[in-house]
Amino acid sequence: MKGYAVLDPFLIVGDKIKADRLSKTVVSWLFVRCSWLSRMTTNDADNIVLMPNPQQWRDYLVKVAVSTGLEAPRAE
């Protein structure tokens, strides 16, 4: 099993994380944790859930922050 079933702790307690990024990460995790944990506990052979790596968690939580209005979309 590769990846993290729940949020990688380093995303919250990283040595150089900024306060605004920390709060957005925590709030984004709180938005999705119930549905994510529900999905993890109902995992079966027909519905295998792949575990995200730290970068995938980071990208996902940024998307949650943007979709909930916590963060402005990035200009590309």
Residue 51 backbone phi and psi in degrees, to 5: -85, 125
Q: What's the whole-model pTM score? A: 0.75
pLDDT of residue 47: 67
The pLDDT of residue 20: 79
Alpha-carbon span 46 to 49, nearest angstrom: 10
In sequence order, what are the beta bridge partners of 45?
Answer: none
Q: Helical H runs in the chain?
A: 10-13, 19-41, 54-67
Segment 41-69, tens digit of pLDDT: 776 766 677 788 888 988 999 899 999 88
What pLDDT shows up at residue 63?
92
Is a pLDDT exceeding 70 seen at residue 28? yes
Per-domain boundaries in the chain: 10-67
